[in-house]
């Protein structure tokens, strides 16, 4: 048995969860926040048999896309604000970060 922890952008979460349910997988959904852009993420916990891991990863690949977004960096707290000119920079957001862990025991009550 495996535990799949998938951290996805909030924008991708509804479609991803819908596909999981449509394919017969159950998930626990938790709100989370990214550290870099401080934007909302959704963390999903999915318990599956070993032979179902690739099916879930296929659903992740099909529903969680990377995209580019312009962001304006915040001023650093250590420097002079007078010389800081915020220029938007393009960063890649979205996609998914996925962890697959061995589960010794799974109990559903």
What average pLDDT score do residues 33-45 get? 76
Residue 46: phi and psi, rounded to 5, are -130, 115
- Band the pLDDT of 51: cuts 50, 70, 90: very high
Domains and CATH numbers, the chain: 2-102 (3.30.70.120)
Tokens of 58: 């296929």
Distance of CA 76 to the CA centre of its chain: 27
Residue 103 predicted with pLDDT over 70: yes
- What share of the chain in percent tops pLDDT 90? 51
CB within 8 Å of 45: residues ≥ 6 apart:
3, 4, 5, 27, 28, 30
Return the DSSP state at 62.
H
């Amino acid at each position: 048995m495996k535990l799949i922890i998938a951290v996805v952008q909030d924008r991708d979460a509804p479609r991803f969860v819908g596909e999981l349910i449509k394919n017969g997988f159950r998930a626990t959904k938790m709100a989370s926040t990214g550290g870099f852009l401080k934007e909302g993420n959704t963390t999903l916990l999915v318990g599956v048999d070993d032979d179902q891991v690739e099916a879930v990863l296929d659903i992740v690949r099909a529903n969680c896309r990377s995209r580019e977004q312009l962001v304006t960096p915040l001023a650093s707290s250590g420097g002079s604000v007078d010389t800081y000119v915020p220029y938007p920079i393009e960063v890649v957001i979205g996609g998914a970060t996925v962890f697959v862990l061995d589960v010794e025991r799974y109990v559903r009550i």
